Amino acid sequence: MEKNELNGSKQYWEETSKEYQLVTRISINDFHYGPLLPGDSTVNALPEKLNGLRCLELGAGAGQNSIYLASQGAKCLVTDISEEQLAHGKQMAEEAGLTLDFQQLDLDDINPSDLGQWDFIHSTWAFPFAENQKAVIEKCAKILSPGGRLHITTGHPVFAGEWIQLDDFEEGMFLSDYFEPPREVRFTEDEESFVRTRQYPLSTYINWLIEAGFKIERVLELKPLDLEFKSEDELLLSMPYDSTVWREMYPQIKKVPFVVTYIATLND
């Protein structure tokens, strides 16, 4: 990633973080995997024992997942490229009476010697913004304790396609190239700063993990909760991440997974 693009990416998140946190509901009472999806209280994929677990979150935004883990007794470091996002997280942690560490860090700038060892590394929808996702996985292997757990929730390559109307009653996904999915570009309102995402085939990610010394435990392609047949109270309890915009996308997300979660342990 060129320096001016990196600066633009940082500026993008600084400019958009307040609105993002304002319009998006992200609960600190459950661990989320993505928009409209069930939380871990339903999925049950987190490490069994959280109390005392040393946890590192990469590309955390405000770190709502880390705040949840801290509420369960975990020792957490929250990292993100945006100072604004981290400031929001610090305020939430303070209001919840929880102690977490916060550090500004871009995924592509991880230096394993600076971070020490961790029992659990997790990242939800941040890897698509990294320029060298394979290198980030390799660095995770260096800072994860033997037998430690890695959770990466990243963009599903199929959802990078374009929705098209098939007939009067049906729509479907058109993906021109599964092996090189189209990249999404997001601009700030003044179009001065932007970020780009990149998805990869599932086999690419799985092989990167294996090559870095990980054992694949689970691969999740979670379906959203049924918005049409659940009450609002039920949704608020079981769906830790949503917004008006995401709910408008429900007809698509219920057909094609928006994210994929790779769960792996580091070989001893």
Lowest mean pLDDT among 99-113, 145-159, 166-180: 166-180
Q: What percent of the chain has pLDDT over 70?
A: 94
Please determine, for residue 44, whether its predicted confidence score (pLDDT) is greater than 60: yes
Please determine, for residue 187, whether its predicted confidence score (pLDDT) is greater than 90: no
Distances (CA, A) of 245 to 5, 36, 74: 27, 11, 32
DSSP 108: G
Quick: pLDDT tens for 102-111. 999 999 999 9
Mean pLDDT of 110-128: 96
pLDDT at position 265? 98
Q: What is the CATH number of the domain that holds 23?
A: 3.40.50.150
pLDDT at position 22? 87
pLDDT at position 267? 87
pLDDT at position 13? 78
pLDDT at position 4? 44
Q: Which amino acid, one-letter code, is at 34? A: G
pLDDT at position 1? 44
Annotate 208-234 with three-state secondary structure: HHHHCCEEEEEEECCCCCCCCCCCHHH
Please determine, for residue 227, whether its predicted confidence score (pLDDT) is greater than 90: yes
* Closest to 228 in 3D by CA, of 206, 198, 253, 210: 253
* Closest to 26 in 3D by CA, of 180, 245, 263, 236: 236
Dig out the tokens for 65 from the structure: 């997942």
Domain count along the chain = 1
pLDDT at position 65? 98
Question: Which residue segment(s) compose the domain that 187 sits in?
Answer: 3-266
Mean pLDDT of 156-182: 90
- Residues 75 and 55 sit within 8 Å (Cβ to Cβ): yes
Rg (CA), the chain: 18
CB under 8 Å, gap of 24 or more: what pairs does 106-115 form?
Answer: 106/6, 106/9, 106/10, 106/81, 107/58, 107/59, 107/81, 107/136, 108/1, 108/6, 108/132, 108/135, 108/136, 110/58, 110/136, 110/139, 110/143, 112/139, 112/142, 112/143, 115/56, 115/77, 115/143
- Residues 106 and 132 sit within 8 Å (Cβ to Cβ): no
Alpha helices in the chain (DSSP H): 3-23, 40-43, 64-71, 83-95, 112-115, 133-143, 202-211, 232-238, 244-248, 250-253
Highest mean pLDDT among 13-22, 128-137, 161-170, 191-200: 128-137
pLDDT at position 190? 65
Beta-strand relationship, 54-57 and 75-80: parallel
Distances (CA, A) of 51 to 28, 185, 187, 219: 16, 39, 40, 25
Helix, strand, or coil (residue 242): strand
- Residues 236 and 133 sit within 8 Å (Cβ to Cβ): no
d(CA 144, CA 257): 28
Please determine, for residue 89, whether its predicted confidence score (pLDDT) is greater than 90: yes
d(CA 33, CA 40): 8
DSSP 182: P
Please determine, for residue 10, whether its predicted confidence score (pLDDT) is greater than 90: no
pLDDT at position 167? 80
Q: What percent of the chain has pLDDT over 90?
A: 79
pLDDT at position 12? 82
Q: Which residue has the higher pLDDT, 29 or 6?
A: 29
pLDDT at position 5? 45
Please provide the average confidence, as pLDDT, over all residues in the chain: 92
